[in-house]
Amino acid sequence: MKIQPNLPRKPRIVVIGGGTGLSVMLRGLKQKPLDITAIVTVADDGGSSGILREELQIPPPGDIRNVLSALADTEPLLAEVLKYRFSNGTGLAGHSLGNLILAAMTDITGDFVTGITELSRIFAVRGRVLPAANHAIVLKAEMEDGSIVVGESTIPKSGLAIRKVFLEPADVEALPEAVQALREADAILIGPGSLYTSIIPNLIVPKLAEAIIQSDAVKLFVCNVMTQPGETDNYSVSDHLAAVHAHIGHHLFDYVIVNDGEIPPQVQNLYAEQGSTAVHLDLEEVTRRGYKVIADTLVLFRTYLRHDAAKLSDHIYHLVEQWMLRKG
C-alpha cells in the first residue's frame, strides 16, 4: 500500500508489549509504510531468558529476540537461526541461539541497548526495537487473597486471581529513547499479549505511562482473542480495559480492535482443555465506557489461534492514516 499524496511522511507508530502476539502483529505491520518502534517488556524471568538474566546480569533477551526476528528483513533461514533452540548439550539445552547472540552483543558493545541496535543493523530490522528499561525488572503480583507472588513466570501458575501487578524497583527508570519515541508518535498501539505479564508491566513504568497519557497520538488497544489461564480467566473485552485503567488510573485508548469472528467448536474444545476460552466482546459495556470498537474476523488457526496479521495491519494502518489526515 502506498502513502497517500496528502500524507507528508510515514506515520510514526510505537507498539508496546511482549510475547508471541506482538511478534505476529509486527510481521504484518512491517509490510506497511510505517516508521515502527517496538517497546518490549524486560520482566521475563523464565526459561532461557531467565537463566541468562540471572547468570549474566542482563535484561531478559527472549521477547526482544522475537521482535527482532519479526521485523527482520532477512532470508527465512536467518530468521530461523535466531529462533533455533538447542535440545542437547550440557548448559546449552533449552537456550535459544538468538538469546545467546543478544547476550554476546551486549558483552561486546558493553550495553544491552547498543547490542540490540547493532543486531538490528545486521539483520536489516525494519524499525527500532527498544527495551522498556535498560535493566531487568522484577514483576510482582498482589493476588485477591492479599498474598504476593514474585516473578513473571510464576504469577500465572499461582492458581489465584490477580488483583494488581507492580514492579521492583517501583521507580524503575524508563529508557529515554522509549519515552522520546512515545512523545513523537502519531499512533501508540498496545497489545496483543499476556495482559498482566507482558502488557501492563510496560504501562506501569512511570515515565512510559506519563508519556502515553500526554501524547496526542491515536491510541489503540488490540485485545487478545483467548483468555489466558491464571491471568485473565473468564475476562471479557471490558475486563481487559478495566484492568489497564485500574493500573494507570486513566482512560488510555481511543480505539479497541477485537475479533468477532467465530472460532470453530473443535478449536474452542482444544483451548478449553488448557483452561482457555474466547474473550467475550461485551460491546455495549465497552462503548458505554467511551471506547470506539473495530470488530472483524481477525483470527487464523493452524497449530494455534493467531491474529490474522495482514487483516489486523490493514485496520491499524487505516486508523492511523485517517488520524493523521484529520490532524492535518
For residues 113 and 177, is the Cβ–Cβ distance under 8 A?
A: yes
Q: Cell numbers for 8, please give them.
A: 507528508
- What domains can be seen in the chain, in order of their start residue? 12-41+168-327 (3.40.50.10680), 46-131 (no CATH)
Model confidence pLDDT, tens digit, residues 135-190: 888 899 999 999 999 988 899 999 899 999 999 888 889 999 999 999 999 999 99
Least confident of 11-20, 31-40, 180-189: 11-20
Rounded-to-integer distance, Cα 325 and Cα 25, Å:
24
pLDDT-derived band at 1, boundaries 50, 70, 90:
very low
Which among 117, 209, 221 has a CA at the least distance from the CA of 172?
209
Query: Residue 245 CB: number of other CB atoms within 10 A?
Result: 15
To which H or E segment does residue 168 belong?
A: strand 162-168
Rounded-to-integer distance, Cα 120 and Cα 125, Å:
5
pLDDT-derived band at 12, boundaries 50, 70, 90:
very high
Cβ burial of 233 (10 Å; 0-12, 13-18, 19+) is: middle
Rounded-to-integer distance, Cα 137 and Cα 131, Å:
11
Model confidence pLDDT, tens digit, residues 49-62: 677 777 777 888 88
pLDDT at 251 over 70: yes
* Dihedral Cα 194, 29, 79, 193, nearest 10 deg: 0
Q: Length of the chain in residues, anyone?
A: 328
Rounded-to-integer distance, Cα 103 and Cα 85, Å:
15
Mean pLDDT of 239-262: 95
Strand partners, 33: none
Model confidence pLDDT, tens digit, residues 214-240: 999 999 999 999 999 999 999 999 999
pLDDT at 126 over 60: yes
pLDDT at 129 over 50: yes
Query: Residue 290 CB: number of other CB atoms within 10 A?
Result: 10
pLDDT at 117 over 60: yes
CA 248 to chain centroid, in Å, comes to: 17
Which among 148, 154, 227 has a CA at the least distance from the CA of 195?
227
Q: Cell numbers for 273, please give them.
A: 482443555
Rounded-to-integer distance, Cα 321 and Cα 313, Å:
12
pLDDT at 3 over 50: no
Residue with cell 506482538: 22
